[in-house]
Amino acid sequence: MSVFGGPLLEEAEIEELLARFPGFKGPLPEEARLWTEAELELFLASDGRRRPICSLGGDGRIAAVAGLLSRTRLMLAELRIDSASQEYLSYCRHREQRTNLCNLPAVASCSPVQRAREVPGTFLVPVTVVPRRARGVEDPKWQSWGSDFWREHFGMEWCQCRARWPAFEQDATTGIDALSVEAGLWEYLDYMQAVEVADAACLEEQSLAYPRLQVGDFCPFAGLGRRLFQESWREFSPPGVSDLTERWLEFYTSIFEEVDAATRLSEFYRLSFQAPGCVTRLHRENHNAHVWFTQLEGQRLFFLFPPEDAVAGRLHEERGGAAPQRSSVEDFATSVSPVDIFFPSQKRHLGFSEASTQAALLGAGKSLVVPAGWWWYSVATQASVTLRHPFWGFENRLGIVDALWAPFEAKDVPASTRNEVRQRFAELRQNIVVDDGCRPLE
């Protein structure tokens, strides 16, 4: 059997278990070979009455068995992957060995992100925004957008479930970190719930039995959710955020003769769905963007590092090139760190001990706003749904030009296509450089 009780039981192992439970007379389900030894033992001991993670969804589905989890287990077995990702195993050990999950003993200082009712005018450090709840004022619509909402309205949409997010040009093309599975959103949400029920504690010995996958970059708003976006997007921004993204996208659509700026804008609002223990690798936001995160459900722990740590070499920054495909630009990071933030290598990453970090445990209804240039890492401490928006203001205005240009830099885009639009991008850049934010849009 695989390490840690992993997937795909051998026939001999199944026969051995059957011999231990002679009272079991029923047929074995076809999917039983995808269970762990402990799961099959429980099934046999209960004479077939207790299946793994049964009754999920309330309609008799065995989601953990029939859906994404079993398919992932089978893929791991077929690919002969016998270890979980190092990032996930590191978090498992952090949970097991330390009582305060929000502390990083390996760095010079670790302090909480400042909390405020709104983002201050001078925006230089991360801030957690806890909005006021005014009497007689209805809560914004997004506060009811948990996993049940997305399952009901967008469950049939396809999404990419990845073991590691975001992707990076120099990532390995084999092994657990390269694992990617396409699934319906409803299927991922069933998986997310199954993992939370069975392995919320993120036990290292369960790391292959419950492999972690996440949907890091789901955008329903440009398609099926277009009307939802148009009705709600002005409520999304945390109080105090100065965001000129919409204005400069109007410049873009005018120059490129595109009719609908709202569709372009919707592409900059993304959702992530993460089972407990899903890690977002340490990286910097692309295109010098600010970014905010609003937690719609569950909890997510963030560690943030200032730009100075990267400049000083403490984060051991690695830089990569363009995304391989135009369709994968939003899933791709161009600056990442290989440092294990919980247990850094004393040989390879010695400088990390001089770094400083800020931590934020983001609960439902709260937002985290991060300035451009800051590095961030996150891990879901509960089943998590998060709305994310990269944005630009006067202080980082040219980053939006780079963001709009990025799809043309993808490796599957021919040089002739880039050459056709260079002049219009030069015009866009100049218009944004001289914009004072007050000139009426034409």
> String of b and e for 50-65 (b: at least 16 CB within 10 Å)?
ebbbeebeeeeebbbb
Q: Which of 434, 426, 4, 413 is nearest to 203 (CA)?
A: 4
Which of 281, 79, 34 lies closest to 175, judged by CA?
Answer: 79
- Identify the bridge partners of residue 359 per DSSP, sorted by sequence position: 112, 303
Q: Are 314 and 250 contacting, i.e. CB atoms less than 8 angstroms apart?
A: no
| Single-letter residue type at 156 | M
Strand extents, DSSP E, 35-186: 109-112, 114-116, 127-129, 158-162, 167-168, 180-184
CA pair distance 358, 372, nearest whole angstrom: 15
Nearest to 126 by CA among 300, 364, 372: 372
pLDDT tens sequence for the chain (442 residues): 332 334 467 788 888 888 888 888 888 887 777 777 777 887 887 778 766 643 333 343 333 344 899 899 989 999 999 999 999 999 999 999 999 999 999 999 999 999 999 999 889 999 999 988 777 778 889 999 999 999 999 999 999 999 999 999 999 999 999 999 999 999 999 999 999 999 999 999 999 999 999 999 999 998 899 999 999 999 999 999 999 999 999 999 999 987 688 999 999 999 999 999 999 999 999 999 999 999 999 999 999 999 999 999 999 999 998 888 877 778 899 999 999 999 999 999 999 999 999 999 999 999 999 999 999 999 999 999 999 999 999 999 999 999 999 999 988 899 999 999 999 999 999 999 999 887 776 6
What would be the CATH architecture of the domain defined by 86-434? Sandwich (2.60)
Q: How far apart are the first and last CA of the chain?
A: 67
Facing residues of 332 across strands? 167
15 within 8 A of 24, measured Cβ to Cβ: no
Domain boundaries, the chain: 11-78, 86-434
Q: Give the CA distances from residue 272 to residues 71, 99, 377, in Å, rounded to whole numbers and listed in that order.
A: 21, 27, 14
pTM score: 0.85
